[in-house]
Amino acid sequence: MLILQQLISGLMIGGIYVMVAVAFTLTIGMLNFLNFTIPALFMLSGMVAWGLTTVGVHWALALLGGVATATFASLIVERFTYRYMRVRYGDATEHALPLVSSLGFLIIFEHLVLVILGSDPQRFPTPFTSADFHLGKLIIGIPQLVSLVLALAIVWGLSIMLKRTRVGRALRSIAENPDAATLMGVSVNYIVPIVFVITGLMAGIAGMLFTLNYADINAYMGDNVAAKAIAGMVIGGLGNIWGAIAGGLIVGLTEVMAIHFFGADIVKIPIWGLLLLILLVRPSGLFGHTAIGKGKF
Amino acid sequence: MSGYWTGIVAILCFNIVVAYSVFLPAAAGQLNLGAAGFVAIGAYTSGYLSTDVGLAMWLTIPIAALATGAVAFLISFPMLRTRGVYMVLATLAFAEIVQGIYINLEIFGAAAGYPVAAFAELDIIAPITILVILFVVFLMATRFGLSMRAVHDDERVASLFGVNTRMTKVAAFTLGGVIAGIGGAIWAHQFNYVEIQHFNILLSTFVLLYVLIGGTQTPYGPLVGAVFFTLLPEFLRVSNEWRFVIFGVIIVLMMVVRPEGLVTRTLVERFYGLFWRRGRTAVADR
């Protein structure tokens, strides 16, 4: 029974990892860009929401404000990394440049939050403290369950959007070949920001759900989650959305199980070991190569 | 020199050495985001040899360097199967695993840290740093340095021209490991205490940024990058957080304005040309 309870909490935290992993995998698959600002966007969402509640904003509005801030920050990142490189070199994916700029933005965002909101761990005044749902002896947090369902629904909607809609087709054509997409009449400069809006929304909503469920927030809260999400992305194969979903859940389960059986200190080794092993042995991920992009690596 | 500046110079030496350890693979086209892992191995090895075995420092530092180089050599073969983003992630994973292992090893004090017996003053650290710089400058001027540059620019063409690309990459990665081991030993003997928490992803990130902002085209890039980013905060009289914000802004602006790094091949050639031309005109006047 205890194991089953652990399984459930693994799936719950896995839902958060899934959203962040999808944000990572989307930018890699579409733009061949490992976007290190995602942990900062995740953190911005939670910390800005907390900052807004301290000045008396209602918690729901504050959370929306956090997500909006993350999305806006993501657009700023697009302006100074991807778009600039593309205008200047004709191809933004060639070098490590966007990766380095995104590390720069990660440092900027984290330390701006430290300057403005302080470095102390805070507690978000979450309205759901004891909304549990008992199934026999199992305890299921209702907000956590809603989060998991919401996370999966958003990712499902995203994959439908990519497959069916006009914008989705344009996005996939850019992933295939930006130059050919331009020749076919896709306006790259209007479509690429959409990827960053989606990234910002995904990371922001994940940050919001994390803040609502666990309430413990600080300026570095994104780093840990992003590390797990990267592991999930690699397990699923870079650029593969459904792989990222499975990978995120696998990482959540592995983490909870490793903590349960071996203690919290050792949790790094199984997760990163799994990641390294998959990178070396099967770089396309566990589920074969069905990436959105053409796999430019 | 006051104690304050001694401390800064020691940190500077450490940053320069570790920057060169990341530079060598980068010069051959590999991004290493796992410097902290290698540094940790070097630091713990020299610390163990100094405290538990009781070896003198002139032995601990070379042995730590060789041990780290051996680890780098062994993992370079699987590591070099990956490229680009995959390589960044694989090296990052390696560093995290090293951290995860050391934090659980009781003989190295686990999370509490490990004391180191021998203390290295600046008159030991600074010459080592200068030797490392001279070594890399020399290495880049040799045939091997040329093949590293060739592999960096275009691996396929380099191998067509008879460069053994695999050997070049493995050697660059291994030498990077050796230098990282020296860096770790410097840290251990300077601070007399090794804590795994210092060798985290932030260290790897910053060192990689020193190298990329300094420029990977010439062996002077990492030196300039490390000196610039170590000394800049000392002259900025603002709070620690604002220093990091400024650091981040500089990185973003650098990538926009001068993405090839501060020091480029053309810049170095122009700098040399300044002296050459003066010499020639003197001859012509005569």
pLDDT in tens, B28-84: 888 888 899 999 999 999 998 988 888 888 888 999 999 999 999 999 988 888 777
Counted residue by residue, chain B has a size of: 286
User: Chain A partners of B28 at a C-beta cutoff of 8 Å?
Assistant: none
Q: How is B47-69 classified by DSSP, letter by letter?
A: HHIIIII---HHHHHHHHHHHHH
* Interchain pair B81, A273: CB under 8 A: no
pLDDT-based confidence at A133, cuts 50/70/90? low
- ∠ CA A130-A133-A137, rounded to 5°: 110
Per DSSP bridges, beta strands A216-217 and A122-123 are antiparallel
Segment among A55-59, A94-98, A148-152, A236-240 with least mean pLDDT: A94-98
Q: What is the distance in angstroms between the CA of the first residue and the CA of the last residue of chain B?
A: 47
Q: Using a CB cutoff of 8 Å and minimum separation of 24, what contacts does A197-201 make?
A: A197/A71, A197/A74, A197/A75, A198/A23, A198/A26, A198/A158, A199/A23, A199/A26, A199/A27, A199/A35, A199/A38, A199/A41, A199/A74, A200/A41, A200/A70, A200/A71, A200/A72, A200/A73, A200/A74, A200/A75, A201/A67, A201/A70, A201/A71
pLDDT at A132 over 70: no
Q: Is the pLDDT score of B279 beyond 60?
A: no
The pLDDT, as a whole number, for residue A131 is: 60
pLDDT at B286 over 50: no
Report residue A193 CA to chain centroid gap. 17
Using a pLDDT cut of 90, give the percent of chain A over it: 7
Look up tokens 């810049």; give the residue. Answer: B267
**B234 Cβ contact partners less than 8 Å away, ≥ 6 residues apart:** B8
In chain B, what is the greatest distance between 2 CA atoms, to the nearest angstrom?
74
Average pLDDT over residues A287-297: 47
B94 in contact with chain A, both atoms CB, cutoff 8 A: yes
Cβ-Cβ contacts under 8 Å, A37 against chain B: none
> Can you tell me the distance from the alpha carbon of B156 to that of A136, in angstroms, rounded to the nearest whole number?
63
Helix (H, G, I), strand (E, B) or coil at A251: helix
Torsion, CA A169, CA A64, CA A244, CA A187, rounded to 10: 20
For range A281-285, the mean pLDDT = 75
- Residue A264 DSSP symbol: G
Listed range (A235-244, A250-259, B103-112, B148-157) with the worst mean pLDDT: B103-112
3-state secondary structure of A138: strand
For residue B128, the model assigns a pLDDT of 92
Mean pLDDT taken over chain A: 81
Domain residue ranges of chain A, discontinuous segments joined by +: 2-120+137-281
CB atoms within 10 A of CB A258: 18
Between A and B, how many CB-CB pairs are < 8 A? 117
Touching A: B residues 232-251, CB under 8 Å: 239, 241-242, 244-245, 247-251
CATH 2.40.128 matches B3-285: no
Q: pLDDT band at residue A252, thresholds of 50, 70 and 90?
A: confident
At a CB cut-off of 8 Å and minimum separation 6, what does A81 contact?
A33, A92, A97, A98, A101, A102, A105, B252, B255
Question: Confidence class of residue A129 from pLDDT cuts 50, 70 and 90?
Answer: low
Residues in chain A within 8 Å Cβ distance of B89: 34, 230, 234, 275, 279
**CA-nearest residue of chain A to B209?**
A100
> Of chain A residues 17-36, which have a CB less than 8 A from chain B?
28, 32, 34
In degrees and rounded to multiples of 5, residue B264 shows phi and psi of: -115, 170
Residue B173's pLDDT is 94
> What pLDDT is attached to residue B178?
95
Q: What percent of chain A has pLDDT over 70?
A: 88
Give me B49's structure tokens: 């040899």
Q: CA triplet B258, B263, B264: central angle to 5 degrees?
A: 80
- Do the Cβ atoms of B176 and B139 come closer than 8 Å? no
Residue type, A8: I
Q: Could you tell me how far CA B209 lies from the centroid of its own chain?
A: 11
CB spacing of A265 vs B103 below 8 angstroms: yes
Tokens of A55: 């000045």
E strands present in B55-118: 114-115
Partner residue facing B251 (CB), from A103, A238, A268: A103
- Sign of the CA dihedral running A140, A141, A146, A148: negative
Mutation target for A interface from B241, B246, B258, B260: give the one with most A CBs within 10 A. B241
Give residue A213's identity as a one-letter amino acid code: N
Q: Is residue A190 pLDDT above 50, yes or no? A: yes
Query: Is pLDDT above 90 for A219?
Result: no
CB-based contact, A103 to chain B, within 8 Å? yes
Among the partner residues A81, A108, A276, nearest to B93 by beta-carbon distance: A276
Q: Rounded to an integer, what distance in angstroms lies between the CA atom of residue A208 and that of residue A210? A: 5
> For domain A2-120+137-281, which architecture applies?
Orthogonal Bundle (1.10)
- Best-predicted range by mean pLDDT (A13-17, A48-52, B134-138, B267-271): B134-138
pLDDT band at B258 (very low <50, low <70, confident <90, very high): confident
CB B184 within 8 A of CB B43: yes
Backbone phi, then psi, for B28, in 5-degree steps? -100, 15
pLDDT for A86 equals: 65
pLDDT tens figures, B155-204: 888 889 888 889 999 999 999 999 999 999 999 998 888 888 888 888 89
Which range is least confidently modeled, A81-85, A118-122, B110-114? A81-85
In tens, the pLDDT along B213-252 reads: 888 888 898 999 999 888 887 777 677 778 888 888 888 8
Length of chain A: 297
Model confidence band, residue B136 (pLDDT cutoffs 50, 70, 90) = very high
From the list B76, B270, B111, B123, the residue with the least C-alpha distance to B196 is B111
Nearest chain B residue to A285 by CA distance is B86
Distances (CA, A) of B62 to A173, B185, B268, B284: 54, 9, 32, 50
What's the pLDDT score for residue A293?
42
Give the per-residue pLDDT at B127: 92
pLDDT of residue B13: 93
pLDDT per residue over A142-168, tens digit each? Answer: 767 777 888 788 888 888 888 888 888
Q: Per-residue pLDDT for A291 more than 50?
A: no
**Contact call for residues B50 and B116 (beta carbons, < 8 A):** yes
